[in-house]
Each structure stands twice: as structure tokens, then as C-alpha cells.
Amino acid sequence: MAGRFFSSDEARLMARSRLPRMMFDFVDGAAGDESLRDINSRVIDAIRLMPRVLADVATRDLSNRFLGMETGSPFGIAPMGMCNLTWPGADMMLARAAAARRIPVCVSTASSTTLEAMQEVAGGNAWFQLYADRSAAFTDELVDRAEAAAYEVLILTVDVPVLSQRIRDLRNGFKYPFHWGPRQIWDLATHPRWSIATLGATLAGGLPRTMNYATSSSGASFERGADRTGADWDYLERLRSRWKRKLVIKGVQCPADAERIKSVGADAIWVSNHGGRQLNAAPSAIEALAAVRDTVGDDYPVIMDGGIRSGEHVVKALACGADFVMLGRTVMYGIGADAERGLSRMLDQVSKETATVMGLLGHSSVAGLGRHCLTSSHPGFAVLPASNA
Ligand SMILES: Cc1cc2nc3c(=O)[nH]c(=O)nc-3n(C[C@H](O)[C@H](O)[C@H](O)COP(=O)(O)O)c2cc1C
């Protein structure tokens, strides 16, 4: 049956056959030889959890408190630019899902929908992700717009001072603005479902664009390969004094950086290697999480993403020290497989699996998860201390 998948791997395969290669590769691809994208998940797979028995787990509650907010589950949706290339209207699907499930949807600087429209549809569940471009006027404008649109959380992404080499995008001629040569036209012609849906949306509203740029009063234009070198330590301090609400720093891996960011007064650190899309040689995200957690202490808020493909992965990230977990490609595979139904199916599946794994560990609430859920031996994952309390 169309769109029926039972895992993110199956959804990924469906998305691969349904989307033009150029669009699938944009989502699926990573930097260098792309090994880190898979290592992120494989290291999480290798972690073992200790089942505990005879606990009352008849009802399991996924709701979570994080940064002073109640969320419907301990996971949300990571920022992803140009989502409407995966399926027309993808951003709005994500915003509707966030509103219905009370989970955060992070809106990229390079989103296909304006940050104002996303917040309205997400019912206050949107968080805004900022890239500090070289244009200070545009960056300041975005911060003001986020404030005016009642965003409570601003995320500064710091792991893209320069854009990495993404070989699939280079090979496919994936550029912004788009270049339509014979190769790209053939790609669209051989994926008619996507092309017809996109043609319909284009006739109604124009080609997908990076709408925060398109609506900018400072005349900024989106350049995919541009440096984001505006983000440095001085900028972080300035941003901290300018933005009074919650400030999260995304793309942190080194414990020393985490310590300094904490001392500048950020409200949370988001451990991420951008899903392997930046430094391919970086540590796996879950190992970086454990190291950062050890450095910042138990009480400092930490978010983690990178390779989370299932509810089991969500629980493992929480057990390894994350307070909140984000899904990136996993939701895009769902959308690529079956548009809004696929997104919904994917989020249901991750939720159900999270609740099941929690129950098998003897926990009825997210707050009960921690390092005590891990077994004492983790092949290839020596960073964690043994603890079986
Ligand atoms: C298609 C795509 C676009 C992305 N765009 C952004 C972005 O605009 N800003 C950002 O901070 N991270 C961006 N990311 C990184 C994600 O926020 C997240 O860190 C990553 O996807 C997590 O890895 P995973 O997809 O393997 O789970 C993007 C990721 C993908 C797959």
C-alpha cells in the first residue's frame, strides 16, 4: 500500500524512489565521504539498555518539561532549510504537526516559509534558527522579526562558518537559484508525482524560495555557499544582551566550547554535527553529547541531534544525557515517502516506540530516564561511566 512504512529506513527507500534524485540527495547527503551521517546512528545502535521488570508501566507519559515549556514528547523537529523542495508545503506540514502534538518545530533562516507564517500555524510551538550571515543588517532584522512574531526560543547555529563540500549536490548541479539543464529536467520528468505536485504549487504560489530572505527589508539575498562567519564569540555576547528570551547554541561538540558558551549565559547547548553535513571527521553526535554533559554538569539544559531514526534512539539519547532530542532527516524521509500522511506516520511511530522502550526499561515517564538505563558495557562507546543503579 502506498506510503506504508514501518521504520525510517523503509521511509527513506520510499522517499528515494519518489523524489527527484537532486532533491533526495539534498536531504540524504552529507559532507565528504558521508561516513559520519551513518556513524551517528551506528554508535547509538551499539548502546545497550538494561530492562527492569515488575514496575507499573501500564500508562507511559511522553510529556516533557524543557526550558520552562511543556512539550507533548521529548523530541521535536530540527531546523531544515528549503524543506518545500522535499514536497510542496512541507514547512506547513511540519508547523501543523508541531501545533497538533505540542512539539517544537525549528524554523531555519533558509526556510521556504516566512518565520511569521510558521509561528502562526505552529500555534506558538516554533523556535527560530539564526545563521549569522556576513550581513549584520539582515541578521539584526531576523532577530527583531523573531521577537515581533513572539518566538520564545532563538537558536544560533555555529557549525557552518564555511559550507562543507557536499559531493552529491555538486554532482547533481544542485544550486540556488536553480539551474535547469537537461540533467535536471530528466530528473524531474522521471519523477512525475513530485513534479506534478510541485508544478501545481508553483502555478499557485511561485517557485519555492527562501522566504525570510525574499521578504527582507534589508534586501538580503540567499547564497547557499556563503560563509556564516558573522558568528564569533563577540557576536554571541552581543546576541545574548540583545535577545532576552531563551537562547540556544546549536552545533557544539567540544566540551571546552560548551563550557565557554554556558559562561556567556546561553540557556541551552545543542550538541550536533549537523547530521554529518559539515565536518565529516567530527565525533559521533552521541559521544559528543556524553562528553559535553560531563563538562556542563547535570543541571544545564542540553539538546542533541544526529542520527536519531527511531524511538529507541530517542530513549538512548535521553539516557546518555540529553534533556531534549531533535529529528532531522527522519521527518523528511516521512514526508518524502507520503507527504503529510508520511510525516504523521513517522511521528506516530517514533512516539509509539519511545513509549514502548520506556515501558520495557520500567519507566512510565520521561523524567525517569537517565544513565542508570545503560548497561555497564558499550562496545565502541567507552565515554560513558558504568551505572546500573
Ligand atoms: C535538508 C537539511 C537541511 C538542513 N538545514 C539546516 C539549517 O538550515 N539550519 C540548521 O541549523 N541545521 C540544518 N540542518 C541540520 C539539522 O538541523 C540537524 O542538525 C541534522 O539534520 C540532524 O541529523 P540527522 O538528520 O541525521 O538526524 C539541515 C539538515 C538537513 C537534512
* pLDDT score recorded for residue 2: 63
Closest CA to 281 of 29, 28, 34: 34
Q: State whether the beta carbon of 272 lies less than 6 angstroms from ligand 1.
A: yes
d(CA 200, CA 172): 24
- Cα of 274 vs centre of ligand 1, distance in Å, is 5
Ordered by start, the domain boundaries in the chain are: 8-367
Q: Which residue has the cell 517514533?
A: 350
Q: Tell me, what amino acid is at 60? A: R
Q: State whether the beta carbon of 29 lies less than 6 angstroms from ligand 1.
A: no
Active-site choice (191, 274, 313, 363): 274
- Cα of 277 vs centre of ligand 1, distance in Å, is 8
The confidence band for 1, taking pLDDT boundaries of 50, 70 and 90, is: low
Closest CA to 130 of 150, 112, 115: 115
Convert the pLDDT of each residue in 299-357 to its tens digit.
999 999 999 999 999 999 999 999 999 999 999 999 999 999 999 999 999 999 999 99
Nearest-CA residue for atom 23 of ligand 1: 275
Q: Tell me, what amino acid is at 153? A: V
State how far the alpha carbon of 341 is from the alpha carbons of 105, 123, 347, 362, in Å: 17, 20, 10, 32
* pLDDT score recorded for residue 240: 98
Q: Between these two residues, 219 and 79, which has the higher pLDDT value?
A: 79
The contacts found for 113-116 with CB under 8 angstroms, 24 or more apart, are 113/84, 113/211, 114/211, 114/212, 114/215, 115/142, 115/145, 115/146, 115/149, 115/151, 115/212, 116/145, 116/149
State how far the alpha carbon of 84 is from the alpha carbons of 14, 65, 151, 178, 384, in Å: 17, 30, 22, 14, 39
Atom of ligand 1 nearest to the CA of 78: 17
Mutate to test the pocket of ligand 1, among 111, 128, 277 (most ligand atoms within 8 A of CB): 277
Convert the pLDDT of each residue in 166-220 to its tens digit.
999 999 988 877 778 888 899 999 999 999 999 889 888 888 899 999 999 988 8
Q: State whether the beta carbon of 328 lies less than 6 angstroms from ligand 1.
A: yes
- pTM (global) more than 0.85: yes
The number of angstroms, rounded, from the C-alpha of 159 to the middle of its chain's C-alpha atoms is: 13
Other Cβ atoms less than 10 A from the Cβ of 378: the count is 17
CATH class, domain 8-367, is: alpha beta
Atom of ligand 1 nearest to the CA of 274: 19
